[in-house]
Structure 1
């Protein structure tokens, strides 16, 4: 399987997963909160922050999806690298708030790492394609022959 197919599959999986996960937080924040790894349900108006998280995930998925569908693979690579920060931030949040260490590491950290690797693989793929399709440099023009040596 080619690097391009692997990258496309992974990026599409991230888009679909982020859409699903984000939608879960928007439509059923309490269900999403249980899978996030934090130990308690937020009190008062804190549940609204879970919906904000869902909107963030959906917006990130749509951004990745647009780049994937329109073929902007190099930009998608950079966006994936940047968006991996969100997963690492989620891991840090879970750990800082006495959440599940297993969820922090095996969900958020692993997700961030795989997203970052996919971003790097897209950058490598597009760098290699750019090198292959680059036009060769034009040959230098022949030096002019002085009039005294012309035949």
Structure 2
């Protein structure tokens, strides 16, 4: 299960990077994939850099071996796609996009966070103190 969790976490970190780059390079196409029509150019840069930063946060913590911290960040970050779904629904987007792009993403983040947080910590064996014996 640890290998599966590792692969899932790396993918979760990489996906927002690709979304972010797409928003920076092809804002109109990315906005359509997000589930809304584009209205302002600044939105693309904001959305793009947000996604890149989120992905880099996950990948950095994970690469440094902080699996528990990565799980916490994923759990907290899951609010973003949940709110994205609400944005899509309140700005003329489709229910299918809200559910199958954003809510599904949020659920995958929560799932991976739970897997990471439930892992047993690999702890180095700490020698226990031996009772002192009197030697004469």
TM-score by length of 1: 0.80
What's the counterpart of residue 94 of structure 1?
88
Aligned pairs, number: 132
Match 1:11 to one of 9, 12, 28: 9
What's the counterpart of residue 103 of structure 2?
109
Alignment root-mean-square deviation, CA: 1.9
Cα 1:66–1:98 change in 2 (3 A) is same
What's the counterpart of residue 63 of structure 1?
57
Give ranges in structure 2 of 5+ residues lacking alignment.
132-136
Q: Alpha-carbon deviation of 1:138?
A: 6.3
What's the counterpart of residue 75 of structure 2?
81
SS in 2 for 1:129: coil
Deviations for 1:131-151, whole angstroms, at most 9, x for unmatched residues? Answer: x76759768x7xxxxxxxxxx
Distance, in Å, in 1 between the alignment partners of 2:41 and 2:84 is 16
Deviations for 1:6-63, whole angstroms, at most 9, x for unmatched residues? Answer: 111001111111110111001111110110111x321xxx221122011000001111
Say if 2:33 is the partner of 1:41.
Answer: no
SS in 1 for 2:92: coil
Distance, in Å, in 2 between the alignment partners of 1:90 and 1:31 is 17
Distance, in Å, in 1 between the alignment partners of 2:22 and 2:14 is 12
Deviations for 1:90-118, whole angstroms, at most 9, x for unmatched residues? Answer: 11100111201101000100000011110
What's the counterpart of residue 134 of structure 2?
none
2:27–2:38 Cα contact (<8 Å) kept: no
